[in-house]
Amino acid sequence: MEILSNSIREIHEKLKKKEMSALELTDFFMDEIKSKDKDIKAFLSNDFSEAKKQAEKVDLAIKNGNEISMLSGIPAAIKDNILIDGIKATASSKILENYVAPYDATVILKLKKQDSVFLGKTNMDEFAMGSSTENSAFFKTKNPNDLSRVPGGSSGGSAAAVASNQCVFALGSDTGGSIRQPASFCGVVGLKPTYGAVSRYGLIAMASSLDQIGPLTKTVDDARVVFESIKGKDKKDATSVMYPEKLQEKGLKDLKIGIPKEYFIEGMDKKVEDVIKNEIKKMEDAGAKIEEIDLPHTKDALSVYYVIMPAEVSSNMARYDGIKYGFSTHKSDSEDLLSVYLNSRAEGIGPEVKKRMMLGTYVLSAGYYDAYYKRAQQVRTKITEDFKKAFSKVDIIATPTTPTTAFSFGEKTEDPLAMYLADIFTVPINLAGVPAISVPCGKINNMPVGLQFIAPWFCEETLFKAGEDYEKLIS
């Protein structure tokens, strides 16, 4: 049980000193999965025999006196829209139910180079479209804090796996809050890096100008370790960049923290608001300078997101045609090519994904492009400018991660708008491309609440420093 309270750095030191072996560590987490996951259902698939081989390789390196990297032998869970060569990558969709990845995502190649141990692929909302993991085509993942509640989404399986101690860290993807929102709901740390800081090569695309891979961990320092291992330019992803080293000397007590008044809105759970305001007061008492700021286009962010995201979804989903790969119908009425297309997509794709594809096709269609898509991109520029202006006055921004704690299964499925509102505090960050981290900051009726820190572009170090200082403040 002591392993569960250890950080990645602490486990690394124990492996180096031979206080435990990588195989013992892997066996421990495999036992945790076997005993817990029948209830939580965080994982879609596991390959324990391969995980043991990876662990044995690390143990051999240690035995031979070789240097090991920080993530060597560290058991991880991977969201099922990130490709691992030779392993199924379903994106929790029937249309990819039997699709086996033919290559590694860049983040996986980087973790393999570090000799991380992959325990399995985690459940998610189908093609990452959702905020509760209720949209998975296979089964629902449950929140480890309360099995009657959702873990959040779309990286719900990854968040639940970390929160229930079924792995040391997990990778997720964040398009409009899909790392930070489940991190908040499950009570773990979730980092959405700057757009372009981490390669998207090998990530099954949802909305390409918004998607970003990032870690879910137990501590902020663990998030730092994983981010350092996966960041950087990749020639296979034209949107990735050479990560600029920006050191943050200021601790929490020296930071100027902006609090956007637009984030404390009507409809937000009063208890969540009270928790967040109480934590802001703690940071002020610790020496941080608190300043109210304006992000005036926040009110437009959700509308902008639900035009741009479906438009990109409709383009990205065109590749699933029942011909090249994935599910293909065998219906007798599929005699011509068009029928194969239509029937394969009708049977293989779930209702939420269909809804977004149709909405995206509509906003991109002749006569509507200028009215919707072009207009949304113009307002997106205004949202980005709001952040630029805010960061000229403050070092970092602090907000709630979500307007409520985790909701019950079925509570929002009948009302799509209520479900979409779960991402109201996370969506602006993806539209602007800035980095943000959700850190656990308290509980309401045993359900976690997340505090979100937002930093300027490529200032992840600021997030880590603020987050670590905040963890010390409340420990």
Catalytic residue numbers, as ranges: 79, 154, 178
Question: Taking Cα atoms as reference points, which of 330, 451, 441 lies closest to residue 396?
Answer: 451
How far apart CA 436 and CA 251 sit, in angstroms, is 17
Amino acid at 352: E
How far apart CA 94 and CA 173 sit, in angstroms, is 20
- Distances in Å between the Cα of 24 and the Cα atoms of 32, 118, 123 are 12, 15, 26
How far apart CA 75 and CA 77 sit, in angstroms, is 7
Q: Is 187 left (phi over 0), alpha (psi -120 to 50) or beta?
A: left
Q: DSSP letter for 96, please.
A: G
Q: In what order do the strands lie in the sheet with 436-444?
A: 43-46, 117-122, 75-79, 169-174, 212-217, 189-192, 436-444, 447-454, 396-400, 256-260, 289-293
Q: Quick one: three-class SS letters along 364-396?
A: HCCCCCHHHHHHHHHHHHHHHHHHHHHHCCCCE
Q: Exposure string (b/e) for 449-474, b if CB count within 10 Å is 16 or more?
A: bbbbbbbbbbbbbbbbbbbbbbbeee
Q: Looking at beta carbons, which pairs linking 60-66 to residues 24 or more positions away fall under 8 Å?
A: 61/115, 62/15, 62/16, 62/18, 62/21, 62/22
Tokens 């639940």, located at residue: 160
Q: Which two tokens stand for residue 93?
A: 């969709």
Tokens 């060569």, located at residue: 85
